Structure 1
Amino acid sequence: MKFVSIVMGSKSDYEVMKSCSQTLETFGVKFEMIVSSAHRSPARTAEYVQSAENKGAQVFIAAAGMAAHLAGVLSSKTVKPIIGVPMSASALGGIDALLSTVQMPAGMPVATVAIGKAGAINSAYLAMQILALNDEELAAKLKEDRVTKAKNVEKDSLEIETIIAI
């Protein structure tokens, strides 16, 4: 079974990352979600990556705040794509997590998305785009989603133009 693995560094990340899982559910993409910390449970994290790969994980999404080393640790344990979601968990508003996630050494790539909810949703879309490289049905769903989004923008524009014309 092919699926997306969502790993959160802390239970507190769930409120943001449920947007990721809900997005995947909307498209019928299978996923599993766990809490495992790069710092507090490094052995669990390493063991999980191997287990998830053996079960069919194709893409890993790592959500972490502050030092945010989770995505880097996942990257060191697999050659599957890693998407990092920086979380706003400190007085720095997530900038610390963003920099920790995006500044990976050469050869240990982590695709990094925006801080917080927008990043959680975009991580789901990016994971699906990766999966869609070998899944024409998912690719078609993603294309239809883009068409729907474009129509919604046109509809919103017409509503505003109508209000302004009055």
Structure 2
Amino acid sequence: MTKKETKGRASYAGALLICRNLARLTVYEMVGDQILIPDNGDNQSSTLQSLILMPGVQLASDEMVRGIAKLGTTAIGVRCLRSRDDQRIADFAVLFAANGNAERFAAMRAWIDRDGGLYLIPEDTSEAGSACFKFDRGLHIAKQPWADEADRRRGLAEAMVLLLAEGTDQRPS
């Protein structure tokens, strides 16, 4: 096996770990490796939306955008990247469908609030109007959830630890 193949398999395994932990941190459960469905174990309303996960995929093609728009659902590309100092990073791309259209949001990072609410926020917040998303009975557009830069860094660090944790079986309390 080549070094590139080994790296690709490790990246895909990291993306699957992130997907499993994402399900544990939200009101979802994994079906196979690519779908999050509502976890009805705690008798929640059936208004929860299923989400399509695509581990190891960047969600870059226009065909994917058109397909998600037709389905009227949300797809999340989940990748496990490496930083310059060789730390694992959970990277998300969102194809968000609404009103028969879909938009692509790339380079999203997980952020967790002090109450355990999970968000996807843009890696680069310098662009005005950057969208944030909250996992809440689906993935919904949300206002900026952090109070200041220190709160933003805290939430990013905590979410990264939870998403990359090996063998965790519990949601945060």
Fold equivalence (TM over 0.5):
no
Higher radius of gyration, 1 or 2: 1
Of Structure 1 and Structure 2, which has the larger fraction of its residues in strand?
A: 2
TM-score range, shorter chain: 0.3 to 0.5
Structure 1 length-normalised TM: 0.36
Structure in which a larger fraction of residues adopt helix: 1
